[in-house]
Every structure is written in C-alpha cells, then in structure tokens.
Amino acid sequence: DGGITQSPKYLFRKEGQNVTLSCEQNLNHDAMYWYRQDPGQGLRLIYYSQIVNDFQKGDIAEGYSVSREKKESFPLTVTSAQKNPTAFYLCASSVGQGGGNTEAFFGQGTRLTVV
Amino acid sequence: AQSVAQPEDQVNVAEGNPLTVKCTYSVSGNPYLFWYVQYPNRGLQFLLKYITGDNLVKGSYGFEAEFNKSQTSFHLKKPSALVSDSALYFCAVGLYNFNKFYFGSGTKLNVKP
C-alpha cells in the first residue's frame, strides 16, 4: 500500500530529553512537511523540505530539528529547547512539483506528551 | 501575508439537512484551495481542491465547494448531512510557486440524528 507512516503513535518525553518522531513515505513525493496541532489552533508548520538534503524553517521551528537524507524519510527531533512540546504532530508529503497545487497526504500522527 | 480564516469554531446541523462550512482566504496571486477532514486522533484526509476552471468543485463523500473570487471564499457544502460526517474540517491554501500550505483553525461539524 502506498502511504505515509508515522511512528510511534504515542510518545512520552521526560523533561530535558530529546525525542525523534519518524515519518516515512513510499509515494515518491519530493516535498515533506511537519505540522504541530494544538486544540483550537489548527495546524502550524514546523519544517518543510522540497527536496533531499534541503529543508526550511516553518513558522514555529524553534526547539525542533529535522533531516532529509533520503527522499522517503523526514524525521523530526523535538529538543529540550522546546518548552511546550506536548501536542499532536502530523507529517505530510506532496508531489512537490508545480508549486502548491497538489494535495498533501498525511500520516496518522504522533501524540507527544511530556511527563 | 497569506492567511486562511474559518470563522466558525463549530457548526451544528441535523441529519438530512444541508450543511455549509465557511472559509475565506487572503493570498497574493492566484490561490490553490483545499478542504481536508480529520477524525479524532487521525491524520487529515483530502476532500477536494480548486486549482482553476469551474468554480464549483465536487469531491469525496458527496461534498462540494464553491470558489468565489470576489468574496475570497471557498465554502464547503453538502446537500444532505450524515451523522458520519461529524468531524473536524480544515480549509487550506497553497501558493502557485511554492510548496507550502496555510491551514485554517478548523471547524468542528456536529451532525445530530
């Protein structure tokens, strides 16, 4: 099946700990995205990548880091510098050619909780 | 600045009645407009999009949306609501030369039997 897979589904982080969220896609999409979802605030863009080995900060990149070493993979690390990381994290991908005129495909999300 | 507004946090409708979920946008240039649906603790699913052409766009599950350039709106509609349509709906805009999407804050649709 073609799709986008996020893991784990639930993740618990201790104060001061870095954690990495996985995102893999087999859709052969060039563009990949990470969004954060908080209640009542919609989706906010953390990072995005239009091509392998390149990525750009979104609107709320502070306290997060990413890499794009392979076309299929776009992991997100939530660092200890992120002071309020508890949220639902969504990874998405799109064809990436021709601009933003193709729909994004989303993973099922990772719910991160600080304990 | 690019932005998308969904003015209603929640919409309540009775099953069998028509529904409308509102969306307005503000972008530079021609917009690409999308609607997505999200069920609890799940990712977003694509419903429909407007790129160019006919202002009335038909999508999945009987939904449709009308692009109105003069009012900068892209309202989602369905002639007859189902209880199973109850979910969170997001409007989004894409830019013509850039792979980046802006999302509205979401509207919770409640369809009562």
**CA B64/CA B51 separation, integer angstroms:** 14
* pLDDT number for residue B57: 96
For residue A31, what are its two tokens?
């563009």
Of A6, A42, A107, nearest to B106 by CB-CB distance is A42
pLDDT digits (tens, 9 = 90+) for B60-111: 999 999 999 999 999 999 999 999 999 999 999 987 666 678 899 999 999 9
Q: Best interface-test mutation with A: which of B99, B100, B108 has the largest number of A CBs within 10 A?
A: B99
- Residues near B54 by Cβ (< 8 Å), separated by ≥ 6? none
CB-CB under 8 Å, A43 with B103: yes
* pLDDT number for residue B64: 97
Secondary structure (DSSP) of A37-75: E-TTS-EEEEEEEEETTEEEE-TT-TTEEE--SBTTB--
**Mode of pairing for the β-strands spanning B107-112 and B10-14:** parallel
> Measured between CB atoms, does B96 come within 8 Å of chain A?
yes
Least confident of A73-77, A80-84, B87-91: A80-84
Residue A16 has pLDDT above 90, yes or no: no
